[in-house]
Amino acid sequence: MKFALTLAFLILTFLPMSVHSHGSFTNAITPLKANQQAKPQLKVKSNKKAAQLAKARLGGKVLKVKKKNSGYRVKLIKKDGHIVSVHVDAKTGKVSRGN
């Protein structure tokens, strides 16, 4: 019971401060939502997904996947024995050679 009264007191004490300092309660929450929406949506979010995209495009067996600034570097060994390194863009999922 004491906990509930303390919690109610804190909520009623600090909620009006938040409302007055920001103009309204919804304005106090809006900046967080705006920041969350500003983050780019990534099409490739993991090493596993990057490996799947590269293997689907080129075939062969995945040897290594390494996270880079803008995406992933995937090394594959093709059926003919050639080792190929490709870049998978994290934002678009595009697989390109030699980058």
What CATH number labels 47-97? 3.10.450
pTM: 0.58
How confident is the prediction for the chain on average, in pLDDT?
A: 79
Give domain limits for the chain.
2-38, 47-97
Query: In this predicted structure, which of 12-16, 32-36, 40-44, 61-65 has the lowest mean pLDDT?
Result: 32-36
The pLDDT-based confidence of 81 (bands split at 50, 70, 90) is: very high
The mean per-residue pLDDT over the stretch 23-46 comes to 62
Q: What angle do CA 90, 94, 98 make, to 5 degrees?
A: 100
Q: 48-51: list long-range contacts, CB under 8 Å, 24+ apart.
A: 50/74, 50/88, 50/90
Residue 94, pLDDT > 70, answer yes
